[in-house]
Chain A
Amino acid sequence: MYVAVKGGERAIDAAHAWLAEERRGDREISALSVAQIRAQLTLAVNRVMAEGSLYDPDLAALAIKQARGDLIEAVFLIRAYRTTLPRFGASIPVDTARMAVIRRVSATFKDLPGGQILGPTFDYTHRLLDFALMAEGDAPLAQTEAAQVGTPPAHIPHVMEFLNRDDLIETEAPSDATPPDLTREPMELPAARALRLQALARGDEGFVLSMAYSTQRGYGRTHAFVGELRIGAVAVQMHIPELGFAIDIGEVELTECETVNQFTGSKTVPPQFTRGYGLVFGQSERKAISISLCDRALRWQELGEDNIGAPAQDEEFVLMHADNVQATGFLEHIKLPHYVDFQSELELIRRLRAEAIAAREAAE
Chain B
Amino acid sequence: MSDQAYNFAYLDEDTKRMIRRAILKGVAIPGYQVPFASREMPMPYGWGTGGVQVTAACLTPDDVLKVIDQGADDTTNAVSIRKFFVATAGVAVTEATDQATIIQTRHRIPEAALTAGQILVYQVPIPEPLRFLEPRETETRKLHELEEYGLMHVKLYEDIAKHGQIATSYAYPVRVEGRYVMDPSPIPKFDNPKLSGNAALQLFGAGREQRIYAVPPFTHVVSLDFDDHPFSPSKANHACDLCASDTSYLDEVITDDEGGRMFVCSDTDYCASRRAGGHVGALGAPLATGKAVQ
**What residues make up the interface of A, taking CB atoms closer than 8 Å to B?**
1-2, 4-9, 11-12, 76, 79-80, 82-84, 86, 182-190, 316, 320, 325-326, 328-333, 336-341, 343-348, 351-352, 355
| Contact residues in B for A9 (Cβ distance below 8 Å) | 74, 79, 83
B284 within 8 A of A: yes
| Chain B residues with CB under 8 A of A355 | 164
CB-based contact B76/A12 at 8 Å: yes
Q: A84-B10, A347-B236 are in contact. Are A341 and B284 (CB under 8 A)?
A: no
Distance, CA A352 to CA B169, complexed state (A): 12
Q: Does the CB pair B107–A340 fall under 8 Å?
A: yes
The number of A-B residue pairs with CB atoms under 8 Å apart is 156
Is B70 touching A189 in the complex (CB atoms < 8 A)?
Answer: no
B7 and A84 within 8 A (CB): yes
Contact B46 A83 (CB under 8 A): no
Any chain A CB within 8 A of the CB of B138?
yes
Q: Is the CB of B169 within 8 A of A345?
A: yes
Taking the nearest CB of chain B, how far is it from the CB of A19, in angstroms? 14
Q: Is the CB of B210 within 8 A of A316?
A: no
Chain A minimum-CB-distance residue to B267: A340
The reply to whether B234 and A344 contact each other, CB–CB distance below 8 Å, is: yes
Report which residue of B71, B75, B284 has the largest number of chain A beta carbons within 10 angstroms of its beta carbon: B75
- Output the least CB separation between A116 and chain B (Å): 40
| Contact sample, A vs B, 14 pairs, CB 8 Å cutoff | A5-B72, A8-B75, A9-B74, A76-B40, A83-B39, A182-B37, A184-B37, A337-B69, A338-B107, A339-B252, A341-B188, A343-B252, A344-B189, A347-B236
CB-based contact B49/A329 at 8 Å: yes
| B35:A186 contact, CB within 8 angstroms | yes
A86 to B252, CA, bound (A): 47
- Is B251 engaged at the interface, CB distance under 8 Å to the other chain? yes
B159-172 CB mask vs A (1 if < 8 Å, else 0) is 00001110101110
B251→A76 contact, CB < 8 A: no
Whether A1 pairs with B44 at a CB distance below 8 angstroms is no
Choice from A5, A83, A188 contacting B75 with Cβ under 8 Å: A5
Check A347/B235 contact, CB under 8 A, given A340-B188, A341-B186. Answer: yes
- Specify which of B136, B187, B208, B252 is in contact with A326 (CB 8 Å cutoff): B208
Most buried by B among A82, A186, A189: A186
Pairwise interchain contact A86-B12, C-beta atoms closer than 8 A? yes
Q: Once the chains are docked, how many angstroms separate the CA of A348 from the CA of B237? A: 12
Q: Does B255 lie at the interface of the complex (its beta carbon under 8 Å from any beta carbon of A)? A: yes
Indicate if B133 sits at the interface (CB-CB under 8 A): no
Residues of B within 8 A of A338 (CB): 70, 107, 186
Give chain B's interface residues, CB within 8 Å of chain A: 6-7, 10-12, 14-15, 35-47, 49, 69-72, 74-80, 83, 106-108, 125, 136-138, 163-165, 167, 169-171, 186-190, 208, 210, 234-236, 242, 249-253, 255, 262, 264, 266, 283-285
User: Which of A329, A331, A332, A339 touches B70 (beta carbons < 8 Å)?
Assistant: A339
Q: Which residues of B contact A332 (CB under 8 A)?
A: 44, 46-47
Contact in complex: B253, A2 (CB < 8 Å)? yes
User: Measured between alpha carbons, how far is A5 from B208 in the docked complex, in Å?
Assistant: 28
Other 4 A-B pairs with CB < 8 A, given A8-B75, A337-B75, A341-B171: A83-B11, A84-B10, A336-B69, A351-B165
Q: Are A344 and B190 in contact (CB under 8 A)?
A: yes
Q: Please indicate the chain B residues that have their CB under 8 angstroms from the CB of A190 in the complex.
A: 138
Assess the A344–B170 pair: CB atoms within 8 A. Answer: yes
A1–B243 Cα distance when bound, in Å, is 12
A298 to chain B, nearest CB (A): 15
Least CB distance, A191 to chain B, in whole angstroms: 11
CA distance A328 to B41 in the complex (A): 14
- Point out the residues of chain A lying under 8 angstroms from B47, CB to CB: 329, 332-333, 336
Contact B38 A186 (CB under 8 A): yes
B36: which of A5, A76, A186, A337 is its contact (CB, 8 Å)?
A186
- Kindly provide the distance from the CB of A17 to the nearest chain B CB, expressed in whole angstroms: 15
Is the pair B188, A330 in contact by a Cβ cutoff of 8 Å? no
Whether A343 pairs with B188 at a CB distance below 8 angstroms is yes
Question: Given A2, A6, A329, A348, which contacts B44 in the complex, CB threshold below 8 Å?
Answer: A329
How near does chain A come to B269, taking the closest CB pair, in angstroms? Answer: 14
Chain B hits for A330, CB < 8 A = 44-46, 125, 208
How far does the alpha carbon of A79 sit from the alpha carbon of B138 in the complex, in Å? 27
Q: B residues within 8 A CB of A5?
A: 72, 74-75
A297: min CB distance to chain B, Å: 18
Q: Which of B47, B76, B252 has the most CB of A within 10 A?
A: B76
Assembled-state Cα–Cα distance A12/B76 (Å): 7
Complexed CA–CA distance, A158 and B190 (Å):
64
Q: Is the CB of B70 within 8 A of A337?
A: yes
- Determine the chain A residues whose CB is within 8 A of the CB of B266 once the complex forms: 339-340, 343
By a CB distance below 8 angstroms, the chain B residues around A4 are 253
Q: A187-B210, A341-B188 are in contact. Are A325 and B138 (CB under 8 A)?
A: no
Instruction: State whether B138 touches A80 (Cβ < 8 A).
Output: no
**Selected contact of A347 from candidates B83, B169, B242, CB within 8 Å:** B169
How distant is the Cα of A8 from the Cα of B164 in the complex, in angstroms?
41
| Contact, CB under 8 Å: B125 / A333 | yes
Question: A11-B76, A12-B76, A345-B170 given as contacts; is B46 within 8 A of A329 (CB)?
Answer: yes
Max chain B Cβ within 10 angstroms of own Cβ: one of A2, A316, A328, A355: A2
Q: Which residues of A contact B208 (CB under 8 A)?
A: 326, 329-330
Closest Cβ–Cβ distance, residue A316 to chain B (whole Å):
6
| Residues of A contacting B40 in the complex (Cβ-Cβ under 8 angstroms) | 76, 79-80, 82-83, 325
Q: Chain A residues near B44: list those with CB within 8 A.
A: 76, 325, 328-330, 332-333
Residues of chain A contacted by B137 (CB below 8 angstroms)? 189, 316, 320
- What is the minimal beta-carbon distance from A195 to any residue of chain B, in angstroms? 13
Residues A183 and B37 in contact, CB atoms below 8 Å apart: yes
Write out the residue numbers on chain A whose beta carbons fall within 8 Å of the beta carbon of B77: 336-337
**What are the residues of chain A within 8 A of B255 when measuring CB–CB?**
2
Closest partner residue, chain A, to B71 (CB atom): A340
